[in-house]
């Protein structure tokens, strides 16, 4: 299946999710807990609405699905979609306009297409392995390293030494979208060292950030490995330069 074909799938999903989800933006009813996800998080009503909308589209394609709230669906396909139906649910529920839909497509174990869609700004980020990263069809790159970088930083207290080396920290609450912002040069790094993010949260963001020139590592400095799991917990360090990577790794000192 061609990139063009997957892009049509992406747009189809985006429209479906947008029309089902956006009417509940900032509405407290969206926050009703209706289940516990496979990884132990609460599934809110809005997560379920978003997931059902996406699954309805993906199931019909006959592909395998690994999604945040439901876990794994094996349809015996060579294609697998890693899905975070709503990245930044808490922002959404609170009326904070920073959330996205995140989907990564793999053929066997190889990534072939990823998209992250931000409804509020109508931004569609895409990653096409070997071909680059795109924002609404225009090629994007990470920005040139600057002396006092701005990073998104999630910690439970570890590595706060990092704060001495950066100018600004942002904790925006939607990791997939933060990786997309790194890819378009709005951030210099995205760091989450809480052993908290799951492959479903970051799969699309990793592809898009890498295609935009980012280094995407685990907290040991190894290339991050995205498995087909909705429950595994990972650390992620994604940056626009080797130097910033070294600074962050030495601040963590594992």
Binding site for Mn ion (CB under 5 A): 68, 84, 86-87, 201
Provide the minimum distance between the beta carbon of 240 and Mn ion in the complex, in angstroms, as a whole number: 23
Taking the complex as a whole, the smallest distance from the CB of residue 224 to Mn ion amounts, in Å, to 16
Position of minimal CB gap to Mn ion:
201
| Beta carbon of residue 242, minimum distance to Mn ion (angstroms, whole number) | 28
- 118: which strand partners? 123
What backbone phi and psi angles, to 5 degrees, belong to 204?
A: -70, -40
| CB nearer to Mn ion: pick between 188 and 201 | 201
Residues near 128 by Cβ (< 8 Å), separated by ≥ 6?
3, 112, 113, 134, 211
E strands along 37-145, which residues? 42-44, 64-67, 71-73, 79-87, 100-107, 110-118, 123-128, 132-135, 138-140
Task: Find the helix or strand (DSSP H, E) in which 23 lies.
Answer: none
Nearest to 80 by CA among 235, 232, 231, 230: 230
Please say which residue, 141 or 170, places its beta carbon nearer to Mn ion. Answer: 170
What 8-state DSSP symbol labels residue 116?
E
Q: Looking at beta carbons only, is 153 or 166 nearer to Mn ion?
A: 153
Cβ proximity to Mn ion: between 100 and 128 the closer is 100
Task: Decide: residue 216, CB within 10 A, 0-12 exposed, 13-18 middle, 19+ buried.
Answer: buried
At its nearest, how many Å lie between Mn ion and the CB of residue 89?
5
Q: Indicate the residue among 42 and 107 with the shorter CB distance to Mn ion.
A: 42
Pair of tokens at residue 114:
């990823």
* Least distance in angstroms from the C-beta of 68 to Mn ion: 5
Which residue lies nearer to Mn ion by CB, 107 or 218?
A: 218
CA distance 232 to 130: 27
Give the position of tokens 């590592």. 217
User: Least distance to Mn ion from the beta carbon of 201, Å?
Assistant: 4
């Amino acid at each position: 299946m061609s990139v063009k074909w997957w892009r049509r799938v992406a747009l189809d999903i985006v429209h479906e999710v947008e029309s089902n989800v956006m009417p509940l933006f900032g509405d407290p009813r969206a926050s009703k807990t209706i289940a516990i996800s496979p990884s132990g998080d609460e599934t809110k009503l809005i997560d379920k609405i978003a997931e059902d909308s996406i699954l309805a589209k993906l199931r019909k394609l006959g592909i395998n699905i690994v999604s945040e709230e439901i876990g794994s669906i094996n349809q015996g396909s060579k294609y697998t979609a890693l899905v975070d139906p709503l990245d930044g649910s808490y922002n959404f529920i609170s009326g904070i306009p920073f959330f996205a839909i995140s989907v990564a497509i793999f053929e066997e174990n190889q990534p072939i297409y990823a998209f992250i869609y931000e409804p509020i700004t109508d931004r569609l980020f895409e990653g096409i392995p070997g071909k680059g990263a795109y924002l609404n069809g225009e090629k994007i790159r990470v920005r040139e390293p600057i002396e006092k970088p701005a990073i998104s930083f999630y910690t439970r207290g570890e590595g706060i030494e990092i704060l001495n080396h950066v100018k600004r920290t942002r904790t925006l609450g939607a990791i997939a979208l933060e990786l997309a912002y790194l890819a378009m040069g709005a951030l210099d790094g995205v760091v989450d060292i809480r052993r908290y993010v799951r492959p479903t949260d970051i799969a699309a963001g990793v592809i898009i950030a890498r295609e935009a020139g980012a280094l995407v590592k685990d907290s040991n400095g190894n290339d991050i490995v995205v498995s087909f799991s909705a429950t595994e917990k990972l650390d992620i360090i994604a940056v626009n330069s080797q130097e910033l990577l070294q600074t962050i790794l030495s601040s963590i000192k594992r």
